[in-house]
C-alpha cells in the first residue's frame, strides 16, 4: 500500500488509453520513462524511436516538424527556439575552422551579425556579395567555400534571387545552398524543389502567423537534418513544447492565411502605385518590380510584404507612419494584423548614406506587413495617412 503523498504525486499521470485526441497535445514533460533496460539500450544504439529528454526531441515538437516538412516538401525538419537559433544551429552544425561562407549582402541583420561576430571568431570567414554577383555565383566559389546563404525576397525592397540558378551552380561545385524562405513562406515558394539543400525560416513570422510565438525552422533531406541534430541538441536551441503546439496550430491555417495575405498585398500595392505622394512601390507582384520575371518564374504568390517610397522623403515617410490608424507601428511581420515599419529606424537603423545605398534603402521608405483585415479598410487607412 503506497502512502497518500506518493499517490497524489503519481495519480492520473501519463496518457489515458481511452482518449484519442485529434490534435497532438502539449507534452510538457522534460523526460520520458523507459519500460526496461533493453529498450534504453536499443535507444542508445539508435534503434528505437522512444523519446528520452525534451532537449533532444519531444512529441509535440515532432508534430510541428512533420507539418514543416510537409509544407516545404522536405524529408525532414527541425524546429528551434527562434529563427536565429535555426541560423546558428545550421552554421555551427555544418562549418568548421577554415571554411568560407558566401552570403548575399542584402540579408537579415541578425544573420549578418552571427557570421561577422561569432563564426569569424572560430576562423570561419564570410564573403558578402551583391545580388547581381550572386547571379554568376559559380565564379565566386573557392576551394574553401562550403555554404552559400541568401534570402528571397529580400528585406525591405523585396528583390528576388533566381533560386534554381544559384543552387545549380552550388551543386556543380559541391557547395551547400541555404535559403531563408521567411518572406515568401512555403505556400508561395519551395526552394527545395528548386535545388536548395536547406531551407531556413523565422517561424515567428508567417508559419505561426499570430505574432505570439518566437520560433525557427530548418527543412531538408533526412541526411542534412540528421547531420544538424547534434548541433541543436548541444547548443540547446530546440523549441519548447507549448510554443511548438502553437506553431503547429498556426501551420494548419497557413495556406488560407497566405492566400489572403497575397490578395490583400496585391490590392494595396496597386493602390499605392497610383498615389501621387508615393514615388515608388516595391512588390514582386507588380510589373514595375525589377525582379518581376524571376518572381513569376519561381513563386506561386507574391506574399504580404510591400515596401514603398514616399515622394516627401524622410519627412513624408514619418508623417505617413505617424498617421496610420489600422496599420500598427511595429517591427516584425507575417501576422494576421497589418504592421507598418520605417526601415531607417528599425532594420537599417544607424547606417550611413553609403551603407543605405548598398542595401538599396532610402530614408523615405516604409515597409508594410499586410495582414488579413479587409483590403478596403487597409487602403482607406493608407489613403487618409498619405493625404
The CB-of-109 to ligand PLP minimum distance in angstroms stands at 8
Q: Which of 27, 51, 67, 108 is catalytic?
A: 108
Q: Which of 55, 173, 249, 280 is catalytic?
A: 55
The H or E element containing residue 306 is strand 305-310
Reading across the β-sheet that carries 305-310, which strands appear in turn?
278-282, 305-310, 365-369, 339-341, 328-329
CB-count exposure of residue 4 (10 Å: 0-12, 13-18, 19+) = exposed
Say whether residue 313 binds ligand PLP (CB under 6 A): no
Say whether residue 291 binds ligand PLP (CB under 6 A): no
The CB-of-19 to ligand PLP minimum distance in angstroms stands at 34
* Nearer CB in complex with ligand PLP: 95/339: 339
Say whether residue 54 binds ligand PLP (CB under 6 A): no
Report residue 214 as a C-alpha cell. Answer: 518566437
Among 58, 202, 264, 362, binds ligand PLP (CB under 6 A): 202
Is 108 noted as a catalytic residue in this protein? Answer: yes
CA 227 to chain centre: 20
Site pattern 159..188 for ligand PLP (x: CB under 6 A): ---------------------x-xx-----
| Residue linked to cell 542534412 | 224
Reading across the β-sheet that carries 216-220, which strands appear in turn?
76-80, 216-220, 198-202, 176-180, 145-151, 100-104, 125-129
CA 87 to CA 249: how far, in whole Å?
23
Asked whether 230 and 98 are in contact (CB, 8 A), the reply is no
Say whether residue 155 binds ligand PLP (CB under 6 A): yes
* Nearer CB in complex with ligand PLP: 83/285: 83
The CB-of-335 to ligand PLP minimum distance in angstroms stands at 12
Is 56 noted as a catalytic residue in this protein? Answer: no
User: Distances in Å between the alpha carbon of 252 and those of 208, 259, 283?
Assistant: 9, 13, 26
Q: Which stretch binds ligand PLP (CB under 6 A): 79-87, 169-177, 249-257, 286-294?
A: 79-87
The CB-of-237 to ligand PLP minimum distance in angstroms stands at 10
User: Distances in Å between the alpha carbon of 112 and those of 119, 127, 128, 275?
Assistant: 10, 11, 9, 35
CA 48 to CA 69: how far, in whole Å?
21
Say whether residue 343 binds ligand PLP (CB under 6 A): no
* Nearer CB in complex with ligand PLP: 58/154: 154
Say whether residue 151 binds ligand PLP (CB under 6 A): yes
- Calculate ∠ Cα 154-155-157, nearest 5°: 80
- Phi then psi dihedrals of residue 100, to 5 deg: -125, 140
Q: Which of 99, 180, 197, 381 is catalytic?
A: 180
Q: Which of 67, 190, 205, 257 is catalytic?
A: 205
Q: Which stretch binds ligand PLP (CB under 6 A): 45-53, 82-90, 231-239, 369-377?
A: 82-90
CA 275 to CA 261: how far, in whole Å?
21
Q: Please tell me what DSSP assigns to residue 192.
A: G
Site pattern 97..116 for ligand PLP (x: CB under 6 A): -----------x-x------
The CB-of-209 to ligand PLP minimum distance in angstroms stands at 13
* Nearer CB in complex with ligand PLP: 90/385: 90
Is 377 noted as a catalytic residue in this protein? Answer: no
Say whether residue 82 binds ligand PLP (CB under 6 A): yes
Is 180 noted as a catalytic residue in this protein? Answer: yes
Interacting residue ranges for ligand PLP, rule: CB under 6 A: 82-84, 108, 110, 151, 155, 180, 182-183, 202, 204, 214, 216
Catalytic positions are: 55, 108, 180, 205
Amino acid at each position: 500500500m503506497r502512502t497518500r503523498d506518493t499517490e497524489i504525486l503519481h495519480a492520473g499521470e501519463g496518457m489515458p488509453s481511452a482518449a484519442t485526441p485529434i490534435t497532438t497535445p502539449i507534452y510538457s514533460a522534460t523526460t520520458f520513462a523507459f519500460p526496461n533496460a533493453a529498450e534504453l539500450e536499443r535507444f542508445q544504439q539508435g534503434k528505437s524511436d522512444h523519446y528520452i529528454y525534451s532537449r533532444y526531441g519531444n512529441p509535440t515538437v515532432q508534430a510541428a516538424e512533420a507539418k514543416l516538412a510537409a509544407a516545404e516538401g522536405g524529408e525532414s525538419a527541425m524546429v528551434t527556439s527562434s529563427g536565429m537559433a535555426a541560423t546558428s544551429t545550421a552554421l555551427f552544425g555544418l562549418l568548421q575552422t577554415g571554411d568560407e561562407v558566401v552570403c548575399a549582402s542584402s540579408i537579415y541583420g541578425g544573420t549578418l551579425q552571427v557570421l561577422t561576430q561569432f563564426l569569424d571568431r572560430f576562423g570561419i570567414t564570410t564573403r558578402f556579395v551583391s545580388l547581381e554577383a550572386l547571379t554568376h555565383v559559380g565564379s565566386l566559389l573557392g576551394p574553401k567555400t562550403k555554404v552559400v546563404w541568401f534570402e528571397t525576397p529580400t528585406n525591405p525592397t523585396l528583390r528576388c534571387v533566381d533560386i534554381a540558378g544559384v543552387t545549380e551552380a552550388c551543386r556543380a561545385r559541391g557547395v551547400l545552398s541555404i535559403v531563408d524562405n521567411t518572406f515568401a513562406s512555403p505556400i508561395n515558394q519551395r526552394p527545395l524543389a528548386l535545388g536548395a539543400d536547406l531551407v531556413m525560416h523565422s517561424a515567428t513570422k508567417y508559419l505561426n502567423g499570430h505574432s505570439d510565438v518566437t520560433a525557427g525552422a530548418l527543412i531538408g533531406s533526412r541526411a542534412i537534418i540528421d547531420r544538424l541534430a547534434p548541433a541543436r541538441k548541444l547548443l540547446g536551441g530546440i523549441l519548447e513544447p507549448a510554443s511548438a503546439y502553437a506553431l503547429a496550430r498556426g501551420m494548419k491555417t497557413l495556406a488560407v492565411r497566405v492566400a489572403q495575405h497575397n490578395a490583400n498585398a496585391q490590392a494595396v500595392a496597386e493602390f499605392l502605385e497610383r498615389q501621387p505622394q508615393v514615388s515608388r512601390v516595391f512588390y514582386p507582384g507588380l510589373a514595375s518590380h525589377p525582379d518581376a520575371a524571376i518572381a513569376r518564374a519561381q513563386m506561386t504568390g507574391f506574399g504580404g510584404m510591400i515596401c514603398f517610397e514616399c515622394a516627401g522623403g524622410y519627412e513624408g515617410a514619418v508623417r505617413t507612419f505617424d498617421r496610420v490608424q489600422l496599420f500598427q507601428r511595429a517591427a516584425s511581420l507575417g501576422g494576421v494584423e497589418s504592421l507598418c515599419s520605417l526601415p531607417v529606424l528599425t532594420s537599417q537603423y544607424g547606417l550611413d548614406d553609403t551603407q543605405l545605398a548598398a542595401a538599396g534603402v532610402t530614408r523615405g521608405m516604409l515597409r508594410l506587413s499586410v495582414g488579413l483585415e479587409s483590403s478596403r479598410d487597409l487602403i482607406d487607412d493608407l489613403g487618409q495617412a498619405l493625404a
